[in-house]
Structure 1
Amino acid sequence: MERRRVLVVGGSGYLGQHLLAALADGGGVDVAFTHRRGAAPRPLLDALPGARAFRADLRSGDGLEAVSASFGQPHVIVNCAAISVPRACETDPAAAMATNVPSSLVNWSLGFGNDRTLFIHLSTDQVYEGVKSFYKEEDETLPVNMYGKSKVAAEKFITEKCSSYAILRSSIIYGPQTISPVEKSLPVQWMNSVLSQGQQVDFFYDEYRCPVYVKDMVDVILSLTKSWLSDGKKIQVLLNVGGPDRVSRLQMAEAVAEVRGYSKSIIKSVPASSVNRGVASPPDISMDITKLTQTLGIQPITFLDGVRATLDAEAST
């Protein structure tokens, strides 16, 4: 029987690296990943010698033919690549649309002429307007910023084009650092670092999210992958993927303080309107994850447990 092939697009990013490590660990599949700039990170290649690296530009599709030529048609494509900083999307809407709507990637996968590929796409909670709590998948998408708009456009493109897909609307993903450390600031580590200095820090009390632990996010992707590879039955699913807790930045910081024993008196509560971030930010995009737990039987861990696991992992490296 032919080996099953999984391609992780944006594999050198935060979620991508955690996913690659889990795929390599599980064995049984051939794994490749794409990265955008220069050479793939050496620590990642050293840690995962079985994973094949390809340089590819998602906007143009340059580099994808090399994947076809030497890796072949993937049975599963996981698209983790995006411009995910809302402000960056706001300042360059054309780049946001070109990168975040994976048209070249989808068209490439359709070019194999059969529907043997499951397309798993990372979307965002920012597709919701943010005016109520616990959004459900069928609620209207009314994004307030360009990042959310580009992700809504991506969802529409994928559902119209792909015969088998899973769209995962993810909240803030947090957890331990990656094999090859990513440049972006990681939320729990950043909070731990500023609180450990004992200086007063401002945190928003009026913006709510359902942060999801990275290993839960990976488990969701692995579960969908396994299901597709085992029976090949058509999958067309849209899922909210968040943690079980609706928390503000303030409550996130309080959880870090609780785990590390810092004084909560240095955590200063401020409204989100006190800072101009150069981009509109939805106030409450907490998500109902009933469909996730019912469809896949996965129950994400609480934010407090996730913080504990993150900081324990950091302490042991």
Structure 2
Amino acid sequence: MSKKKVLVVGGTGYLGQHLLQGLSETQARAQTTSPFCYDVAFTHHSSPPPSPLLEAIPNVLAFHVDLRTGNGFEAISQAFGQPHVVVNCAALSVPRACEMDPTAAMSINVPSALIKWLSTFKENITLLIHLSTDQVYEGVKSFYKEEDETVPVNVYGKSKMAAEQFISTNCLNFAILRSSIIIGPQTISPVPKSLPIQIELLGFRTPLNAVYVGMELTGLLIRQWMDGVLCKGDTVDFFHDEFRCPVYVKDLVTVILTLTNKWISEGKQMQLILNVGGPDRLSRVQMAEAVAHIRGYNTSSIKSVSASSVDRGVKSPADISMDITKLMQTLDFSPIPFRDGVRLTLAAEAGS
């Protein structure tokens, strides 16, 4: 069986680690029922890469790469060769950090160095799967479709929109995934993000922080913070007027693996943009209520407040819920509901 090469850019991040784990599990199945077999490599910015990740996923090559300059890509060419699939998970994804340093946001989030490197290969056999965001939408209506106008309201969204435009102009073979908030268990090597910052990223209002929406709702956050404050019965503020479609991390991994397998088995050029969210349009209040119901807590401690009641130093789109019909039809796949994702997340955290 001929192995295909998959490169995960940003393999030490939250989604990157879950994807590497999914690829490793695919490798194990390849010994029995799966027709797909991969050689896998990943890039990292911190050095050295976390040893727990390397120990848990053997036979995976790690490369130090600077996405701003492109330094490190040549080493991949020499030691790994041209990948059949590149999954770009790397990003500066904290919106307030992007607002404070727009130059860094653009240089990291627009993968110009990555695409320049891919152009050095003579044969055009690489599929680029790029992670974008629901924040490319303006947030003035519900259930955006892929063909709707994109009018991002903050630097983070603008940088991800610029990335989409750059890829569409300079790549012949790509799939762009507009992901919503990602919910799921902690990674093999915990992503170095303090709990207050995780709370801040997700757009919940707390007595300690003005807060914002970000990329992942990890089991650590659900279990140690949301679960913790709700079980005490203390009153906590949650926004009722910002809406998202949270997606379970393993569903997002399934989408990526399905696209990878589709390209490798069919070899048909892709130029695809997909909304990747869960089936539920939820406010932060509704997310908190779901956790409370699952854990058996009284919801009286959940106080509903408006997102406009706090100045977070950056604009946040109000409703960027997404229509995922195209995703389900294209890949014949349906993401699980938010409550099921919370249950699986809490179960995984309890068993870890």
What's the counterpart of residue 10 of structure 2? 10
Partner residue, 2:245: 210
Deviation at 1:2, TM superposition (A): 4.1
| Closer/same/farther in 2, CA of residues 193 and 105 from structure 1, 3 Å limit | farther
SS in 2 for 1:34: strand
The one-letter amino acid paired with 2:222 is: V
Whichever residue aligns with residue 31 of structure 1, its letter is V
| Aligned residue identity for 2:66 | D
Correspondence for 2:183:
174
The residue that corresponds to 1:183 in the other structure is: 192
Deviation per CA, 1:258-293: give whole Å up to 9, x if none: 111111011111100112111000000000000000
Q: Which amino acid aligns with 2:6?
A: V
- Residue 110 of structure 1, CA deviation: 1.4
Aligned twin of 1:150? 159
Q: CA deviation at 1:113?
A: 2.0
Equivalent pair of 1:243/1:303 in contact (CA under 8 Å): yes
Match of 2:289 in 1: 254
Shift of 1:194: 2.9
Matches of 2:342 and 2:294, distance apart in 1: 7
The 5-angstrom pairing of residues 85-104 of structure 1 reads 85-104=94-113
Note the C-alpha offset of 1:201: 1.1
1:247 counterpart SS class: coil
1:285 aligns with 2:342: no
Aligned partner of 1:116: which letter? Answer: I
Q: Which of 33, 52, 74 in structure 2 is aligned with 1:65? A: 74
Describe the SS at the equivalent of 1:209: coil
In structure 2, C-alpha distance between the alignment counterparts of 1:242 and 1:276, rounded to whole Å: 27
TM-fit CA distance, 1:314: 0.6
Identity of matched residues, %: 67
Q: Which residue, 155, 163, 171 being the options, matches 2:172? A: 163
Q: What residue identity is the alignment partner of 1:200?
A: T
**Shift in Å, 1:191:** 2.0
- The separation in 1 between residues aligned to 2:310 and 2:53, in whole angstroms, is 37
Structure 1 residues 85-135: Cα deviation after superposition (integer angstroms, max 9, x where no partner):
110000000000000000000110111122100000000000000000000
- Quote the Cα distance in structure 2 between the aligned partners of 1:193 and 1:164: 45
One-letter amino acid of the structure 1 residue matched with residue 240 of structure 2 = Y
1:137 is paired with a residue whose SS is coil
Report how far residue 219 of structure 1 moved: 0.4
Alignment counterpart, residue 124 of structure 1, candidates 125, 128, 133: 133
Q: Aligned runs of 1:73-88 on 2, under 5 Å?
A: 73-88=82-97
Q: In terms of mean alpha carbon deviation, does 270-279 or 166-175 score higher? A: 270-279
Retained in 2: the 8 A contact 1:24–1:50?
Answer: no
Letter paired with 2:333:
I
Q: Name the structure 1 match of 2:207.
A: none
Q: Aligned match of 2:261 in 212, 223, 226?
A: 226
Give the TM-score of the pair, scaled to structure 1. Answer: 0.98
Measure the CA separation in 2 of the matches of 1:195 and 1:84. 28
Amino acid at match of 1:303: F
1:79 deviates by: 0.2
Aligned to 2:215: none
Conserved 8 A contact 1:174-1:188: no
Match for 1:195: what amino acid?
L
5+ residue gaps, structure 1, are none
* Number of residue equivalences: 317
How far off its partner does 1:197 sit? 3.5
Report the alpha carbon displacement of residue 253 of structure 1 after superposing the two structures with TM.
0.5
Query: What is the CA deviation profile of residues 7-44 of structure 1, one whole-angstrom value per residue up to 9, with x for unaligned ones?
Result: 00000000000000010110110110001011101110
Give the aligned residue type for 2:24: A
- 2:25 aligned with 1:25: yes
**Alpha-carbon distance in 1 for matches of 2:222, 2:119:** 39
Deviates most, 183-192 or 118-127: 183-192
| Aligned position for 2:119 | 110
Report the Cα offset of residue 196 of structure 1. 3.1
CA RMSD of aligned residues (A): 1.0
Establish whether residue 34 from structure 1 lines up as the match of residue 43 from structure 2.
Answer: yes
8 Å contact from structure 1 (residues 43, 179) kept in 2: yes
1:9–1:81: 8 Å Cα contact kept in structure 2?
A: yes
Structure 2 unaligned blocks of 5 or more: 28-36, 199-217
Give the Cα–Cα distance (whole angstroms) in 2 for the partners of residues 256 and 127 of structure 1: 28
3-state SS in 2 of match to 1:24: helix
1:123-159 Cα shifts (integer Å, max 9, x gaps): 0000000000000000000000000000000000001
Deviation, structure 1 residue 183: 2.2
Distance in structure 1 (CA, Å) of the matches to 2:165 and 2:38: 30
